[in-house]
Amino acid sequence: MNPKIYRQADSRWGSLPYPTKAYKFASNGCGCCAVTHCAIELTKYWNFTPADVRKFMVQFATKGHGTLWAGISKGLVNYGYTVHWRSADSMSDIFKVIEASPIKRGVLLMGSSRGGSKRIVWTNSGHYICFVDWKYEDGDYWFYIKDSGGRWKDGKRDGWFSYKQHLKGDVRQVWICTSTKESQKPAGKYSGTIPSPTLKKGSTGTGVKNWQKFLNWYGAYGLIDDGKFGSLTKEATKAFQTANGLTPDGIVGPKTIEKAKAFK
């Protein structure tokens, strides 16, 4: 996971027009920041800031109302994803899409009511937030949120939040990143080293590092090639396996290596 979290009121871009000088990024830029937080999970855009993404997203900004819903879709597609977008009238259907996607990120549009059993107020009008991971735990879905608004007393509202406790009843629209676009897939042949099987969560060393480099080349998964096979490497492995017709168990066995070698 990219550790960067951006605030729309940051002095580096908060005063920029979105879309005109009368409407500042600080008040209108939550949608652009949400797209940025998804974009920087890909290696190609790892060091991008909202100021970089704003150059594309400003065409979808409206006067006084932030980013158009369709603009969120176009932004995510522009920065490398295929997207499933729908109204949150039936979260059970949305959860099915989330569970089927190997890429655990997307955007939520929050309304102006109080979300969840703990009655959290996410916004006074409408507000886009990004999630960059999710898990199912204790009978509930949890989302790792990056909130560009920072409205809480401690200045931030980031980290793990429960759907039932913190979000339920206030989610209006959902954009789920289901895969990387074909344009993000590599062209040509891979020139690096393909490791030998078997690698799995908990493995360490050069073989893991080589596997992480291959995954970043193949799918722009934004992994740090540190030689440590953790949760992110496992999820990227599962995504590669799914894309290549293998059982997505997250273990780099002989069949997975065979598929990888086809790219040499």
Sorted by sequence, the CB contacts under 8 Å of residue 32 that are 6+ apart come out as 8, 18, 25, 50, 53, 54, 57, 58, 61, 67, 75
User: Is residue 186 over pLDDT 90?
Assistant: no
Residue 32's SS3 state is helix
Cα dihedral 189, 42, 88, 158 in deg (nearest 10): 160
**Homologous superfamily assigned to 25-180:** Cysteine proteinases (3.90.70.10)
Place of tokens 């995954």: 215
Task: Give 222's pLDDT tier (boundaries 50, 70, 90).
Answer: low
Distance, CA of 67 to CA of 30 (rounded, Å): 8
Helix residue ranges, H only, 42-135: 50-57, 69-78, 91-100
List where CATH 1.10.101.10 sits in the chain: 185-261
Closest CA to 118 of 75, 71, 167, 151: 167
The pLDDT value recorded for residue 88 is: 84
- The answer to which of 106-110, 153-157, 230-234 has the lowest mean pLDDT is 153-157
Taking CA atoms, 84 is separated from 30, 42, 103, 106, 174, in Å, by 20, 18, 12, 9, 8
For 16: left if phi > 0, alpha if psi spans -120 to 50, otherwise beta; the answer is beta
What is the β-pairing status of strands 106-110 and 127-137? antiparallel
pLDDT of residue 153: 54
Evaluate whether 79 touches 38 at the Cβ level (below 8 Å).
yes
Helix or strand (DSSP H, E) at 37: helix 30-39
Average pLDDT over residues 12-18: 96
User: For residue 185, what pLDDT is reported?
Assistant: 62
Q: Mean pLDDT, to the nearest integer, of 157-166? A: 93
All residues at 6 or more sequence positions from 136 whose CB lies less than 8 Å from its CB, including other chains = 99, 142
Average pLDDT, the chain: 90
Q: Kindly provide the residue ranges of all beta strands, DSSP E only, lying in the chain, ordered along the sequence.
A: 61-62, 66-67, 81-87, 106-110, 114-115, 120-121, 127-137, 140-146, 159-162, 171-180
Q: Which two tokens stand for residue 194?
A: 């393909």
DSSP 186: P
Residue 69 to residue 109: CA distance in whole angstroms: 9
Do the bridges between strand 61-62 and strand 66-67 make them parallel or antiparallel, or are there none, so unpaired?
antiparallel
Instruction: Please check the confidence at residue 53 and state whether its pLDDT lies above 90.
Output: yes
- Please state which of the four CATH numbers 1.10.10.10, 1.10.101.10, 3.40.50.2300, 3.30.70.250 is assigned to the domain occupying 185-261: 1.10.101.10
In the predicted model, is pLDDT for residue 48 greater than 70?
A: yes
Is residue 232's pLDDT more than 90?
no
* Percentage of the chain lying above the pLDDT 70 cut: 93
pLDDT for position 93 = 86
CB atoms within 10 A of CB 205: 12
Q: Binning pLDDT at 50, 70 and 90, where does residue 184 land? A: low
